Chain A
Amino acid sequence: MRSIIPQTGPRLAVQREVNTTMLHLIFGGIHLDGRKEGTRRKPLADLDVESEQVILSLSEHGGAACVPVVAVGDIVAQGQPVAKNEQGVLVHASVSGTVQDIGQWPHPRGGTAQAVVIRNDGKHTLWPGCGQEIADWNSLTADQIIDRIRQAGIVGMGGGGYPTANKLETNRGQVDTLIVNAAESEPYVTADHRLLLERSEGVLVGLNLLCKAVGATDGVVAVESNKLNAAEVLERTAKRCGLPGRVCTVPSRYPLGAEKQVVKSVTGREISPDRAAVDEGCVVFNAATAFAVYEAVVKGLPLTHRVVTVTGGALVRPRNLWVPIGTPMNELVKAAGGFKEQPALILAGGPMMGVAQDDLAAPVTKSTNSLVCMLDWELGEKKEETVCIRCGRCVSVCPMHLMPLLVDKELKLGGDVRELRRLHTQDCMGCGCCTYVCPSHIPLVERMEQAQQLVKQADRKQVEVTP
């Protein structure tokens, strides 16, 4: 990849201001301590020592789990499909080697899932079916782009895991604005930030390819105001390469990474409850997805690698890694220098919405953006739940305009479903702002989930009764 900043000419130290006039501020949200200093200046790096085996989890996509198309003992090349499902979602081998095992394996989302385990031979022989570069990507049609994206097995890499090709097809012709979400408002995580800084051209090309595939006229990269250098780099790259696409700097507030909030703050459109972004003419992709689309369409490479931030106070050398998908988390910890202290908690994802990891044998999946190993002091004091003092903080931070304290009260009174429906508990997206701010240490997100389940049960009963 070429250098991003032109080598000639004076380097201008331009301080970009957060453009608040163009912004549509969201209600609620919290200003978190970013804790990104550990990795925000660490460039993307390959693993020092390659993993001996990779574990390709087969159930990471939305929809049906994939079925393996290889058998134990087969020799596979890097980029060769090893599993697929009836929707046409593919899983590719991220290294070349021998299929060692097909069986249950720990999954970062918790529990176990079927996985194809490949013993790495270290040769990285490329599968002949991939690697066809297309220099003139501008001439591709939307169908061709979507086809190449499907062949590359790309899914939403921000955590959603929905197949990108399917999303493009369903939204085709219905959207005018395409947003590449690089807000990354979770603390600790810097994966998208480094990707924007170092592979900005790829992200921008991916943005344009996605725009073309879905028929959007306006492509926007949403960047949080704590990554102004990334915004700067993106704008320079767009100007240098003559790529259309603009950068929108949004304030750094925690749940801005969520789809509805990013659409609201970039375009000012509010997505109605029970509807999706497409109904407001918007579609949102993660920055890592955009880069994967660039690699798939322009370089012909399937989705075999991704950026993972390995950070936290327990690690000796926090860093951003460019790793084959399927690398066990043990290897990531090893690459980050191992533990200097025993971590209190290990998370896949950020501390607000991440998933605690029981077993470090679990592999990196397509939607794992970080591994955070936290110490006790980073977690803060765990305190006993006390009574609600009606301070109203949960109301003032909820980005979905909900009233968690009333939901909690209603549940303690027995959980009247009619009342819970009136409080719109089904709108909750579980961002955790309410639990974060609660001075009485009430696990409000859990209460919201309970309420949602109660409402769902009642709905099911109603459906059974009505026919």
Chain B
Amino acid sequence: MSRVYAGKSSFPCIKDRASVDSIMLDVLVALTPALVMGAFLFGFRVLVLAAISVLSCMGFELLYCKWTKKPVTIRDLSACVTGLLLSMTLPVTAPYWAPVLGGAFAIIVVKQFYGGLGKNFMNPALAGRMLLLSFPGMMTTWVDALDRQAVVGVDAVSTATPMAYLHLGKLPDLTLSQLLLGQHGGAMGEVASFMLLLGGAYLLCRRVISWRIPVCFLGTVAMFSFVFPKGNDPLDWAVCNLFSGGLMLGAIFMATDYTTSPVTPRGQILYGIGCGCLTVVLRSYGSYPDGVGFSILTMNCCVWLLDRVGLPRRFGVRPLTETRSWALGTLRRLGKLRPTIPERREKAVRGTMPGERDLDRIRSWSKNAAAMTAVIVVMAICIGGVNRATGRIIAVRENREQQELLEQVMPAAQVVTETPYMAEDALSILAGYNENELIGYCVEVEVQGFGGVVTMVVGVDVNGEVTGVTVTGHSEHAGIGGQALEQDYLGQYVGLSGTVRDEGRNSVDAISGATDTCRAITAGVNKALYIASRLDAGEVEYMDGQV
């Protein structure tokens, strides 16, 4: 009965069932609730975009593998995960070419050029998203959840996301359940925090990810926003920071990407904390409202270092033994240092001074040093000259603009100066002088017009009468509201004082068809008159050091 059975076999001969494709499938499953919620909130277009993104990522992977004659690796589903993650960071209004471009960059440049799965140092999906951020108009046009018209309509109405409020230091006007369920503007896969949390719980249960990175990431963000609430209620501020923007998607799905996160437990903890700190800093001081993507990409570049730092303690070696031995060794070596008087090697040679040789050396260096200094000086002069010239041109142009403005707003004044006054609602307050005599103030105010914000400057003399009105910025419709912005109409305000009414006594003739714009301008004039009157009464904040 002695037969030869399965000769050499690799050990251990039983194996865990998990494989790369099963792990990737788990991630896809975990992302599904958030995607479905996104489709519910923003409409069918979400699914179309996701499908385009996934298909293009898998297509690029297939093409690249065929082109370079490498074994085709789309069966491991990693490109599928990349595509889905990429699509989830996009706004629902993104054009259909956006995920294709992002996917091409993610798969070909970020992933395959660096050696494919397991070798890239940056999260491909995030890198693709960051490339698409080069089109800020496209990537920051958000529509409100459940606003189907906006998605279908040609001119989508942009809405402020919770992150925009947070960026200004204000709390968004949302309830906790709205935040959790994603009933607000934002990227299509990022808004539904609760669904993302569900996905995270699934991944934890399936042991696909460990708790370390998400918990440290979210914990750091929560802690910092609790401690520095920018004048809001700490708890509200922390909750809003946690559940808005891309934080949940980033912490649970992006930062935990295997290839671009540390493998050592300690490294993972440090990585999570680093991501959290950077997110808080970028959200507070960055120019984009959200900083999750940038912070993860930055920490991705530190993974090698974190793995070194986080090397597990060797079994049987007490904690910090190596550190201690290193410190002791350094101390011992430092103790061996003895102060010694340096010898003079140069011996006096007859006919030369002892320092002669040094001088020669300095002379030879000086040539190089002189050349370098010359280059630096020339460049400094060039830069300085250009700066001066352009500064002069800019100053002249600004002066001319100011003079033009002055002519329209306060013709009697010869010069305007900035004032140390700050009033609420006024963007700026300038004082107009005629031969050292104060004539009045030019107040720049903002009012809500028909199509958007109207910025205008109103001149008010010391008697409280309007000397001129001009509109410096608006987004009114040229055909309808445009007439109300012409000097023909605006000139009617000259000489009015007190509170200007919309009709009747102390009013101007409104232009038919542009009533809203006219009312807005009247409101702006009233605002300016009110501010100017308070200036004379001395009831304004005096901002020291602002001049």
- Asked if A and B are interacting partners, one says yes
What residues of A have a CB within 8 angstroms of the CB of B265 in the complex?
Answer: 395-396
Contact B13 A390 (CB under 8 A): no
Residues 350-362 of A, flagged 1 when their CB comes within 8 A of B and 0 if not, give 0111101111110
Interface: A175 (CB within 8 A): no
Interface: B258 (CB within 8 A): yes
| 22 A/B residue pairs, CB under 8 Å, sorted by A | A32-B14, A345-B13, A351-B12, A352-B14, A356-B7, A356-B13, A358-B7, A359-B2, A374-B13, A392-B210, A392-B262, A400-B315, A403-B311, A406-B307, A435-B12, A435-B15, A437-B16, A438-B16, A440-B19, A440-B20, A440-B118, A441-B15
Partner of A403 from the list B6, B23, B258, B312 (CB cut-off 8 Å) is B312
Contact B12 A427 (CB under 8 A): no
Known contacts A270-B316, A387-B116, A387-B118; is-contact A356 B14 (Cβ 8 Å) = no
What residues of B have a CB within 8 angstroms of the CB of A438 in the complex?
Answer: 16
Interface residues of B in 73-105 (CB under 8 A from A): 76, 78
Partner of B313 from the list A387, A390, A401 (CB cut-off 8 Å) is A401
CA distance A351 to B14 in the complex (A): 6
What residues of A have a CB within 8 angstroms of the CB of B268 in the complex?
Answer: 392
Interface: B22 (CB within 8 A): yes
Chain B residue at minimal CB-CB distance from A431: B12
CA distance A378 to B259 in the complex (A): 31
Interface residues of B in 251-271 (CB under 8 A from A): 258-259, 261-265, 268
Known contacts A345-B13, A387-B117; is-contact A395 B264 (Cβ 8 Å) = yes
What residues of B have a CB within 8 angstroms of the CB of A424 in the complex?
Answer: 314
Partner of A437 from the list B1, B11, B18 (CB cut-off 8 Å) is B18
Contact A439 B316 (CB under 8 A): no
Partner of A439 from the list B7, B23, B261 (CB cut-off 8 Å) is B23
Known contacts A389-B258, A391-B258, A403-B312; is-contact A353 B2 (Cβ 8 Å) = no
Interface: B350 (CB within 8 A): no
What residues of B have a CB within 8 angstroms of the CB of A374 in the complex?
Answer: 13
Interface: A379 (CB within 8 A): yes
Smallest Cβ distance from B165 to chain A, in angstroms?
37
Chain B residue at minimal CB-CB distance from A360: B2
Interface: A388 (CB within 8 A): yes
Contact B17 A389 (CB under 8 A): no
Contact A396 B14 (CB under 8 A): no
CA distance A360 to B6 in the complex (A): 12
Contact B19 A380 (CB under 8 A): no
Contact B316 A271 (CB under 8 A): yes
Smallest Cβ distance from B79 to chain A, in angstroms?
13
Interface: A383 (CB within 8 A): yes
Interface: A461 (CB within 8 A): no
Majority secondary structure of chain B interface residues (helix, strand, loop or mixed): loop
Chain A residue at minimal CB-CB distance from B71: A386
Chain B residue at minimal CB-CB distance from A279: B316
Contact B12 A439 (CB under 8 A): no
Partner of A386 from the list B18, B22, B76, B316 (CB cut-off 8 Å) is B76
Smallest Cβ distance from A439 to chain B, in angstroms?
5
- Tell which of B16, B119, B210, B261 has the most Cβ of chain A within 10 Å: B16
Residues 417-459 of A, flagged 1 when their CB comes within 8 A of B and 0 if not, give 0000000100100001001111111010110000000000000
Contact B116 A273 (CB under 8 A): no
- Tell which of B2, B23, B117 has the most Cβ of chain A within 10 Å: B2
Partner of B16 from the list A275, A345, A357, A436 (CB cut-off 8 Å) is A436
Residues 365-377 of A, flagged 1 when their CB comes within 8 A of B and 0 if not, give 0000000001000
Contact A275 B1 (CB under 8 A): no
Majority secondary structure of chain A interface residues (helix, strand, loop or mixed): loop
Chain A residue at minimal CB-CB distance from B8: A356
Smallest Cβ distance from A397 to chain B, in angstroms?
10
Partner of A392 from the list B9, B264, B318 (CB cut-off 8 Å) is B264
CA distance A436 to B316 in the complex (A): 24
Smallest Cβ distance from B205 to chain A, in angstroms?
14
Known contacts A392-B264, A405-B263; is-contact A359 B4 (Cβ 8 Å) = yes
What residues of B have a CB within 8 angstroms of the CB of A334 in the complex?
Answer: 1
Known contacts A273-B316, A345-B5, A360-B2; is-contact A389 B117 (Cβ 8 Å) = yes
Smallest Cβ distance from B453 to chain A, in angstroms?
50
Interface: B336 (CB within 8 A): no
Interface: A187 (CB within 8 A): yes
Contact B14 A380 (CB under 8 A): yes
CA distance A386 to B263 in the complex (A): 18
Known contacts A401-B312, A439-B18; is-contact A391 B23 (Cβ 8 Å) = yes
Residues 284-311 of B, flagged 1 when their CB comes within 8 A of A and 0 if not, give 0000000000000000000000010001
Smallest Cβ distance from B361 to chain A, in angstroms?
40
Interface: A118 (CB within 8 A): no
Contact B5 A357 (CB under 8 A): yes
Partner of B13 from the list A379, A392, A406, A441 (CB cut-off 8 Å) is A379
CA distance A141 to B446 in the complex (A): 102
What residues of B have a CB within 8 angstroms of the CB of A273 in the complex?
Answer: 314-317
Contact A386 B314 (CB under 8 A): no
Contact A358 B317 (CB under 8 A): no
Smallest Cβ distance from B21 to chain A, in angstroms?
9
Contact A352 B12 (CB under 8 A): yes
Chain B residue at minimal CB-CB distance from A344: B6
Residues 206-230 of B, flagged 1 when their CB comes within 8 A of A and 0 if not, give 0000100000000000000000000
Interface: B332 (CB within 8 A): no
Chain A residue at minimal CB-CB distance from B75: A386
Of all A-B residue pairs in the complex, the 7 with the closest CB atoms, nearest first, are A392-B263, A432-B12, A272-B316, A401-B312, A352-B12, A361-B2, A391-B258
CA distance A435 to B9 in the complex (A): 13
- Tell which of B8, B14, B314 has the most Cβ of chain A within 10 Å: B14
Interface: A155 (CB within 8 A): no
CA distance A252 to B315 in the complex (A): 20
CA distance A445 to B11 in the complex (A): 8
Known contacts A356-B6, A358-B5, A401-B313; is-contact A378 B14 (Cβ 8 Å) = yes
Smallest Cβ distance from B60 to chain A, in angstroms?
18
Interface: A399 (CB within 8 A): yes
Interface: A211 (CB within 8 A): no
CA distance A437 to B9 in the complex (A): 17
Contact A389 B20 (CB under 8 A): yes
What residues of A have a CB within 8 angstroms of the CB of B12 in the complex?
Answer: 351-353, 432, 435-436, 445
